[in-house]
Amino acid sequence: MKKYINPNLLIDWNLKETETDRKRERNGGYRWKSPSNLAIIKYWGKHGNQLPRNPSISMTLQAAFTETQMNYYLATGKNQLVTFSYNGKENKAFAARIIRFFDSLRPVFPFIDDFEYDMYSTNSFPHGSGIASSASAMSAVALCLCDIEREHFGTLQDDEAFYEKASYVARLGSGSAARSVYGGWTEWGTHECDPSLTDYWATQLTEIHPSFQHMKDMILITSSAEKSVSSSAGHQLMEGNVYADVRYQQAKDRIPLLLSALKTGDWGTFGKIAENEALTLHALMMSSEESYILMHPNSLAIIEIIREYRRETGHHVYFSLDAGPNIHMLYPAAIDIEVRKFVDERLEQYCQGGQIIYDQVGIGPERQESDLGIYSSFVQS
């Protein structure tokens, strides 16, 4: 995909008219709040430079987000290229990940080496709550970088171009992050139904039934232990998985079914796909060459109870899982009060320390007022 390989995005400092102009251009900062997302049709297996083996569809979350302030300064060559602080503490491991990400972005943002960067980041969800944070973290960084491009080159002025590029860039940091730059529902990856789709960036779905626009996602935290196998290793293991080809085809076949369910408000079809996708993801982990299990005994206990509750009440209450042990319980907003009561009575006891995140389909990333000065108000304890 040559579209975003642009050697012209280099700053010519001699063109800056006055010293004030030059100073202004040499440092600045942006701040974005960007959400996590939950895939209903899962992306699992990749190739080339962060390209998906199959298309995926996700909902953007609202309560689970990362907020990142990125400050940049003209590079002096004396300092570290990137410093990264998470919740007020320097995080060298994440800085190293960002540096690798920036290395991969040189053809897209040739100006990237002109600056040094200080980043300050917080997550709305408690650290170690087992919520995948790379989608929200990487999309926030991608959005800040696109703002820097827009400021210096006058490009990406219209929103469509801005978010498409942000999605392309976020994908290079973490595949699922490509879907986090849009609110509502998002799809990513080529499939036969729509030739305009691409593996390089995600797009927002527009035809969504109101009951799915307002869908609730209650995240039941069963364990906050660090994942024993990373998503990168999991994608890698798909390369030798005997079920891989069948799985990729299954995901492709499901796309038109899910699109139609989302459009018409067909909760039955939606629920069947959501639950089967979650269990398939975990079955693929269990059946890979180096088998592993990320579910917790309480994940299974909760799944059983959700199914029982559905049988008892006929309510559209379904579950999904990401690459971890926590259960995402999905249901229409109209039954929220009843479902919360059910959770208090029957599910909370299976959550570690009673941890629950009350989430829903979200509005997407929001640019925040940049704070170039004091960060203490930004840092949570």
Q: Which residues bind ligand PMV (CB under 6 A)?
A: 39, 42-44, 56, 132, 134, 174-176, 231, 235, 281, 322-323
In the complex, what is the shortest distance from the CB of residue 322 to ligand PMV, in angstroms, rounded to a whole number? 5
In the complex, what is the shortest distance from the CB of residue 18 to ligand PMV, in angstroms, rounded to a whole number? 44
In the complex, what is the shortest distance from the CB of residue 36 to ligand PMV, in angstroms, rounded to a whole number? 9
* Token duo for residue 207: 């035809």
Nearer to ligand PMV (CB atom), residue 174 or residue 299: 174
In the complex, what is the shortest distance from the CB of residue 85 to ligand PMV, in angstroms, rounded to a whole number? 22
Nearer to ligand PMV (CB atom), residue 223 or residue 231: 231
Nearer to ligand PMV (CB atom), residue 176 or residue 355: 176
In the complex, what is the shortest distance from the CB of residue 43 to ligand PMV, in angstroms, rounded to a whole number? 3
| Block residue for tokens 């569809």 | 57
247-283: b (≥16 Cβ within 10 Å) or e: bbeebbebbeebbebbeeebbeebbbbbbebbebbbe
Give 191's DSSP letter.
B
In the complex, what is the shortest distance from the CB of residue 323 to ligand PMV, in angstroms, rounded to a whole number? 4
Cα separation, 254 vs 264, whole angstroms: 15
Nearer to ligand PMV (CB atom), residue 326 or residue 355: 326
Nearer to ligand PMV (CB atom), residue 36 or residue 352: 36
In the complex, what is the shortest distance from the CB of residue 307 to ligand PMV, in angstroms, rounded to a whole number? 22
358, containing H or E segment: strand 356-360
- Residue 337: C-alpha distances to residues 12, 52, 304, 334 (Å): 59, 38, 21, 8
Q: Is the separation of the CB atoms in 150 and 160 below 8 Å?
A: no
Q: Is the separation of the CB atoms in 168 and 200 below 8 Å?
A: yes
Q: Is the separation of the CB atoms in 62 and 362 below 8 Å?
A: yes
DSSP letter for each residue of 135-175:
HHHHHHHHHHHHHHHHHHH----SHHHHHHHHHHHHHHH-G
In the complex, what is the shortest distance from the CB of residue 188 to ligand PMV, in angstroms, rounded to a whole number? 8
Nearer to ligand PMV (CB atom), residue 161 or residue 283: 283
Nearer to ligand PMV (CB atom), residue 298 or residue 326: 326
Cα separation, 242 vs 225, whole angstroms: 29
| Block residue for tokens 């969504």 | 208
Nearer to ligand PMV (CB atom), residue 171 or residue 316: 171
Cα separation, 254 vs 265, whole angstroms: 16
Cα separation, 186 vs 323, whole angstroms: 19
Give 4's DSSP letter.
T
In the complex, what is the shortest distance from the CB of residue 178 to ligand PMV, in angstroms, rounded to a whole number? 8
Q: Is 219 helix (H, G, I), strand (E, B) or coil?
A: strand
Nearer to ligand PMV (CB atom), residue 327 or residue 339: 327
Cα separation, 109 vs 173, whole angstroms: 14
